[in-house]
Amino acid sequence: MKKISVYRPTSIEEAIQILSLHGTDAGVYAGGTDLLIRLKNRLKQAPTFLVDIKKIGNLRYIKETPQGGVQIGALTKLAEIAESDVLAKKYPMLVQAFKMISSPELRNASTLGGDLLQEVWCQYLRGAYSCWRNGGYICYGAIGDNSYYHSAMGGRLCYAVYPGDAAPALITLDATVKIAGPSGIKEMSVEQLVPGDMMVDGRIQSHVVRFNEILTEVVIPPPNAGFRASFEKLRPRGVWDFAMASAALGLQLRDRTIEDARVVFGGIAGKPYRERAVEAFLKEKTLSADLANQALAAALANAAPLKYNATKIDMAKGLLASGLDKLAAS
Amino acid sequence: MRYSRRDFLKATAGSGLIALTTGSDGVVAAFAAPPVPIPTPMTKETATFNINGRNYQAEYEARTTLWEVIAVKLGLTGTNRSCNRASCGACSVLLDGTPFYSCHTLAMEAVGKKIFTVEGLGDEKNLHPMQKIGYLYMAADCGFCTPGWEVTAKGLLDKNLNPSVDEVKSALAGHICRCAAYSAIIRTVIDTGKVLRGEAEL
Amino acid sequence: MSQNPQKPKIKIEPKLESTVVIRQPMVRNFSTGGGHLPGDVLTEGDQKVVTKKWQGYPPENLKVVGKPMPPMPEVAIPRFLGKAEYATRVVLPNMLHAKAVTNPHPRATIKSLDTSKAEKMPGVAYVLTYKNAPSTYPLTRELNFQGDLVALVAADTEDLAEDAADAIEVEYDTLPAASTLKDAMSSDAPDLRQGKGNLVILSPNNPHYDPKATWVAKHGDVEKGFAEADIIKEFTYYFAGAVSVPMQPCGSVAKWDGDKLTFWGMGQSIYPSRASLAKALGIEESKIRFIDKYNGCTFGAANAAARFDPYIATIAKVTGRPVKLMLPKDQELAHITIKPENLTKFKVGAKKDGRIVALTHEIHISNGDQEAVGHASGEISKNQTELYTSKVPNWKSSWHSYKSNAIKAGICRSYTQQEVKWSWENMIDEMAEAVGMDPIQFRLLHVPRPGTTLTKDWHEDLGKKYEAENGVVHYDSFASVEVLEEGAKAIGWDKRNPVPGGNPGRFKRGMGVGMSQHHPGHMGYHDGEVYFEKVTAQPIGGGQGLFTAEIEIGADGYVTMRNALPDSGTNHDTALAALVAEMLGFTTRDRIRVVWGDSDLAPSSGTWIAGKTITLQGAAVCSATNKLRQDLLRRAADALKVDVAKLQMRDGVISSTEDPKKRTTFAELAKANKGSIRQTGMGVNKDQGRALTKGVGACFVEVEVDTWTGNWRFLRGVYCHDTGLAVNPLVAEADMHGSLVESFQMATDSIPWDREFPGTRHYSVGYLSYRIPTIMDVPEQTQVFIDSLEPRWFFGTKSFSETSIGSVPGAISNAIYNACGVRIREHPITREKIIAGLRRGGTGR
């Protein structure tokens, strides 16, 4: 792989300082599972100064808050989240979603922060093509073979889909994140964290974390009674593969009445796609077996499929129906 | 440097930032102090690797993978490498009892950890029950994926001597067997558990 | 968890997982005397000639052959220890690691190439390009497919070699390319064959010559046949190409000691690989010790990657250091041979009762960067044509093979099977539907069965060169009826809803069937047979088809079998050892040892492919063992002063049938002969005559389709094989598991061509780019072994390693159609196509 130099700071300030020094030549290194692919494929955009944040104090934890929510340190392994009894009890959908990410060995290495901030998996980028994300000024996916890894909901510069599962699941739970930078700690929702296809520090990213910032924590508000959620992921195999489409669904129920809803699709757009039209439609409806059919009519009206990926929309709708059906039956 | 919440709010008043929470002990916010001197980053070093209970010294670059240290530099060639992209499991090893893809782990990460490879499972004179049973059940055709799943299965059995079929599948999901010996592998792991629990014998 | 102390412990024993064995009745009255010489003619009860081969006991009396048992321990146990010697495990002091630079364009020439920077980089020992490649094995500036070799760098570590590879400066002149089948077929296609046209055409003297095709066969008068048909249908199918990816990275290790080369290779032969390497290096074969004991799969495909071997050896010679190559998957996959992209058109005319009376079959194939006829004239490509047209009075089959700027088509786990049979098995089901027949009944109406004959003009029209009796070819052992009927029983075909998509609800299950005729191993002749002399009198071509085995009894009474063949997970030595044990009168396999995979340790054999191992190395092994048996009996007769005919042989003891106290042992006889008694045997085939015997298989598939999302699951597979006498059902069951799952992957994951940028493949992220089924994806499987004894082979064995694999992709397609009414004619089978089909009007919401 590309030659790298590794810093091993023991404090956040030191890490931020090093990142500030090197600019976009440096990058945060935690589990490295995404980064190492890019280094092995020798992508121009892969940083060669790695700032290993694993030696920094306490960034790896799952803690209950006094109010009953949780705080999860960004260096917490995906496996720890998937196997957490605390999380399984409070947010079963989250645990179910995390169990479907990548593979067991990868979940042992990958961190929550790394997963949220992951690079896209478009075959052109990963194959070191000089596209928007790799030193060039073109999106090959927009004009190329875009059946799997490219957006069916439109794009601006980069059309690659946001491939992660953690973000859609967390958005459904109204999670927020903390980001440490030179001027302090920012807080924002996970939805705000990954708006997709953003120009930040002169490069296209799916997220808004800057070159000298570090994601430190994810906070999930306490689960309310009557909250039910589901997560469905459609992919060729039962492990490893990214979602061709995914649907995270959260319903705040009062008996069978939906007080509030969260509907987030993954794998179909440059960001986790929050379908507010369906959320609005579901409000005040009664959860029933045929609600699914009706909800679909409101879904993804803004779809803008590319040449090969119109079926992503059908799949996403099918997954939404499946989620509603599951929750209606439970 | 630590700053109190009050100091920070004073410093950032009017900045438009969302209010601070410290989140957790030790995660600190502001950055008004003079910078600390930045050390030289590591590009190459020598360290001790504890593999199957024995210590080995190896020199490696920052970019050297654990697989390369184990199977090339140290000559413990039992651990194979197939895809080199964390997509097959041929290279799995245990680090402190937990499976990782050694091709996708930088060597430096394994320093100070207990590394377990297939060589630690058994040898010609002392086969581990898993190896004997795998042999009897034909759980390996070409054998290229075998050390990988054996090591992961050992990690599973060390934590749970009575896994269900689904638990075995979930634990071994990150291993490709091109020869599709999966059903024999599952039976091997389950029956190894039985032998180790004293409910079955070879 | 407490254990009931009274509860007995379970005994761990090898056992079959789910295999049904159907023994066909013994219709032939084989002699049980044993010890037949190869020249003996055995006759049936009614004096009909059965075979000239040693037949042994009736299957029921066999002690070792036919019994399920684990593989040879010296072969299999190292796999579990991490000690199996794949070339990738060879690590030597002072070793260099090689990395390749490959061509990114579908077609280009090298305009300029500057390696000066690379050569000076840290740790770099050598850079090989067209400028300094050996004259006996040059590299050219013409690059005709994406991934073609441009340079090889050797350095102290892989990383340093990669750094240097990156520093090589290459400029390319890109050229117009025909990298897809569509491009290659087009009249505007760039000229890839110096004006001859990209369509490969035979010489006008060839009976299958056609100016507009590569190879044509016809029988009867198709126009007349269509005129008589009640129903006529036309179908078009597309196969996107596929490849068997071996688990082990392709590569090799070379080490010189003076002028002697030790080479650890990866492939399917020892001596032929050694001969090719010697020729490429311009040295004598005896200067090379070629070692290849274990491979992590090869599938035939990996053989092609041996093109790198002479370069690795050259770099090792020039630098004086061992050199190792382990190709990364993205580079490897440009070089291993693939199942080609092809387009197939059918026109089929049938009578109301379902009989096909006219059929035209037209197939266009992208053959890759080679001047070969390939599939077009291959004998075994026509197996499926034969399967369905042996009773069709009028047919025409035309094959079109185009040179293209793509990966070479070639052997790849069942040459010509899946890629050709995809279209046939879909078509047969569609035609069955058109005439209103159940797919199994429709097949039974058409396929040959024992007793069927191919008339002289029929099989000559198809260009088959069978061993014929008075020009007529008989189907002897061919379990076509059983593979269909027993398979149907095992899967529960009677519970299938014949209406496509007819089951209610969101999740719809369906069943489908596919069938495949292939060859049951390349049967041939062994030394001592008249035809052996005839065949070996002609050039065979680099030892390709000549196999040798050595069997030796040592002073310890153990039997050592020496086969110069690599094991790629094939475990063929296990089956061969069973034959040896049986023939020498052992009741277990315990006294048999194998030495294999090393030119220093075993005599010359050819390349194993496609079931040649059991039947050709098997011929050599059985011949040698038979000679050894005769030798031992003669020595015992001498020593005991008893007539040979009055001796019996059991578990290493030879004794008089009349007075068992008159006895000697293998060990004693060996000791009396300076410690060893040894015999050699040979086997050979030409791809004609007996080599073209037929085997048949079928696959029954049950799937479940989620009509809301297009998701589908492969639930159950019942895989049926015309096995002959399965030598070791445990190994065979494991082998067939792999066969079905691999064919499943072929159906769903094609070569990842880029659909918009022709000539581009995407392999950058390992097996995410090309998905191999995981433990979460594989179906439950049941094997059905039809023990249909092959009358012309030892013990009635056939090889069936490739017989059935072609049936699977079509079976899956047929099952999906049955489940949800979506017919996928364009391979690969994907969830996108299922949901698109459902939205277009298959069943579903």
ipTM of the complex: 0.97
Say if residue C676 is in the same domain as residue C698: no
Q: Where is B196: in which H helix or E strand? A: helix B182-196
In chain A, which residue's Cα lies nearest the Cα of C330? A127
Q: Tell me, what's the pLDDT at C789?
A: 77
| B153 Cα distance to chain centroid | 12
pLDDT band (50, 70, 90) for residue C842: low
Mean pLDDT along residues A130-140: 97
Q: Assess whether C551 and C666 both reside in one domain.
A: yes
Q: What is the mean pLDDT of residues C6-24?
A: 88
Whether residues C634 and C677 fall in one domain: yes
How close does chain B come to C778, measured CA to CA in Å? 8
CA distances from B165 to A82, A239, B161 (A): 19, 16, 12
Q: Looking at residue C12, what is its pLDDT?
A: 95
* CA dist., res. C321 & res. C310, Å (int): 15
Q: Does C49 touch chain A (CB under 8 A)?
A: no
Q: Calculate the alpha carbon distances from C623 to C301, C348, C793 in Å.
A: 30, 47, 12
Mean pLDDT for the stretch of residues C566-595:
96
Confidence at residue C525, expressed as pLDDT on a 0 to 100 scale: 80
Give the per-residue pLDDT at C616: 86
**pLDDT greater than 50 at residue C33:** no
Q: Which residue has the tokens 């048999």?
A: C592
pLDDT at C53 exceeding the cut of 90:
no
Question: Average pLDDT in the C319-348 region?
Answer: 96
d(CA C706, CA C704): 7
pLDDT digits (tens, 9 = 90+) for B113-134: 999 999 999 999 999 999 999 9
For residue C510, the domain's CATH number is: 3.30.365.10
Distance in Å from the first CA to the final CA of chain B: 62
- CATH number of C257's domain: 3.90.1170.50
Inter-CA distances, C160 with A2, A40, C580, Å: 10, 13, 50
Strands (E), C519-615: 525-526, 546-554, 559-563, 592-596
Do residues B81 and C88 lie in contact, with contact meaning Cβ atoms separated by under 8 Å? yes
pLDDT exceeds cutoff 80 at A111: yes
Q: Taking a C-beta distance cutoff of 8 angstroms, is the pair C512, C606 a contact?
A: no
DSSP code for A286: B
Mutate to test the interface with B, among A185, A189, A213, A240 (most CBs of B within 10 A): A185
Question: C260-264 and C676-684 as β-strands: parallel, antiparallel, unpaired?
Answer: unpaired
Residue A1 to chain C, least CA–CA distance (Å):
6
Q: What is the pLDDT of residue C806?
A: 97
Q: Which of C653, C684, C715 is the last residue of a domain?
A: C684
pLDDT for position C468: 75
Asked whether the beta carbons of residue C835 and residue A241 sit closer than 8 angstroms, the reply is no
Chain A residues lying within 8 Å of C831, measured CB to CB: 234, 236, 244, 311, 315
CATH code: domain of residue A279: 3.30.390.50
pLDDT score recorded for residue C801 = 87
Write the pLDDT tens digit of every residue in A48-81.
999 999 999 899 999 999 999 999 999 999 999 9
Asked if the structure places residue C488 within a domain, the reply is yes
Whole-number Å distance between alpha carbons of A59 and A81:
14
- Nearest CA to C781 among C524, C365, C487? C487
Contacts of C168 (CB under 8 A, 6+ apart): C101, C113, C114, C115, C117, C118, C127, C150, C151, C153
The answer to whether residue C29 sits within a structural domain is no
Name the average pLDDT for chain C: 91
Residue B22 phi/psi, 5° resolution?
-75, -20
- Coil, strand, or helix at residue A204? strand
> Where does a domain end: C280, C314, C332?
C332
- Indicate whether A235 belongs to any domain: yes
C757 and A321: CB-CB below 8 Å? no
Is C470 in the same domain as C492? Answer: yes
Greater pLDDT, C322 or C50? C322
Q: Which of C162, C765, C776 sits opposite A239 (nearest CB)?
A: C776
CA–CA min distance B112, chain C (Å)? 24
- pLDDT grade, residue B30 (50/70/90)? very low
Q: Tell me which of C627, C659, C684 is where a domain ends.
A: C684
Q: Is residue C561 part of a domain?
A: yes
The answer to whether the Cβ–Cβ distance between C709 and A308 falls below 8 Å is no
* pLDDT value of residue C760: 86
Considering the domain architecture, whether residues C537 and C494 belong to the same structural domain is answered as no
Q: What's the pLDDT tens digit per position in C400-454?
A: 999 999 999 999 999 999 999 999 999 999 999 999 999 999 999 999 988 788 8
- Report, as an integer, the average pLDDT of C102-114: 97
Residues C783-793 pLDDT 10s: 999 988 776 67
Partner B contacted by C247 (CB < 8 A)? yes
Residues with Cβ within 8 Å of C30's Cβ and at least 6 positions away in sequence, in order, are C42, C50, C55, C56, C57, C58
CB C170 within 8 A of CB C150: yes
Note the pLDDT tens digit of each residue in C137-172: 999 999 999 999 999 999 999 999 999 999 999 999
The confidence score (pLDDT) of residue B23 equals 40
pLDDT tens-digit readout, C830-840: 999 999 999 98
Count of domains in chain A?
1
Q: In the predicted model, is pLDDT for residue B185 greater than 80?
A: yes
Q: Are residues C732 and C793 in the same domain?
A: yes
Same domain for C573 and C534, yes or no, is: yes
Q: How far is CA C387 from CA B192, C477, C488, in A?
A: 46, 14, 19
Predicted confidence (pLDDT) at residue C541 exceeds the cutoff of 80: no
- Return the pLDDT at C55: 54
Number of domains chain C is built from: 3
Looking at the complex, report in whole angstroms how far the Cα of residue B98 sits from the nearest Cα belonging to chain C: 19
C654 within domain boundaries: yes
Cα distance between residue C483 and residue C597, in whole Å:
35
Task: Report the pLDDT value the prediction gives residue B33, as an integer from 0 to 100.
Answer: 52
Please give the distance of CA C763 from its chain centroid, rounded to a whole number. Answer: 24
Mean pLDDT, rounded, for A19-23 = 95
Domain range for A314 is 227-329
Q: What is the pLDDT of residue C22?
A: 86
Tell whether C651 and C729 lie within a shared domain. Answer: no
For A268-277, the pLDDT digits (tens) are: 999 999 999 9
Residue C211 lies in a domain: no
Is the confidence at residue B14, as pLDDT, over 50? no
Quote the pLDDT of residue C567. 97
C277 & C309 share domain: yes
Residue for token pair 């998937």: A82
Q: Has residue C11 been placed in a domain? A: no
**pLDDT above 70 as % of chain A:** 100
pLDDT of residue C315: 98
Q: Rounded to whole angstroms, how far apart are CA atoms B106 and C498? A: 56
Q: Who among A42, A140, A314 is closest to C710 (CB)?
A: A314
Q: Are residues C595 and C544 part of one domain?
A: yes
Estimate the share of chain C in helix, then strand, then coil, as percent rounded to the nearest 5. 30, 25, 45
For residue B34, the chain A residues in CB contact (below 8 A) are: none
Split at pLDDT 50, 70, 90, the class of C576 is: very high
Which two structure tokens, joined as six digits, stand for C66? 């036919």
Interface of B with A in 71-100 (CB under 8 A): 84-87, 89, 92, 98-100
Q: Which pLDDT does position C790 carry in this prediction?
A: 75
Q: Structure tokens of C826?
A: 């364009």
In a domain? residue A170: no
Band of pLDDT at residue C40, cut at 50, 70 and 90: low
The Cα-based distances of B200 to A316, B196, C327 in angstroms read 48, 8, 43
C714 and C620 in one domain? no
Residue C404's domain comprises 342-522+690-840
Touching check for A123 and chain C: CB below 8 Å? yes
Residue C106's nearest CA partner among C75, C147, C136 is: C147
Percent of chain A with pLDDT over 90: 97
Domains annotated for chain B, with CATH where assigned, are 1-38 (no CATH), 44-120 (3.10.20.30), 129-196 (1.10.150.120)
Mean pLDDT value of segment C668-675: 96
Q: How many CB atoms lie within 10 A of CB A21?
A: 15
Q: State the average pLDDT for chain B.
A: 88
Which one is predicted more confidently, C24 or C331?
Answer: C331
Model-level pTM?
0.95
Query: Two tokens at A327?
Result: 């929750």
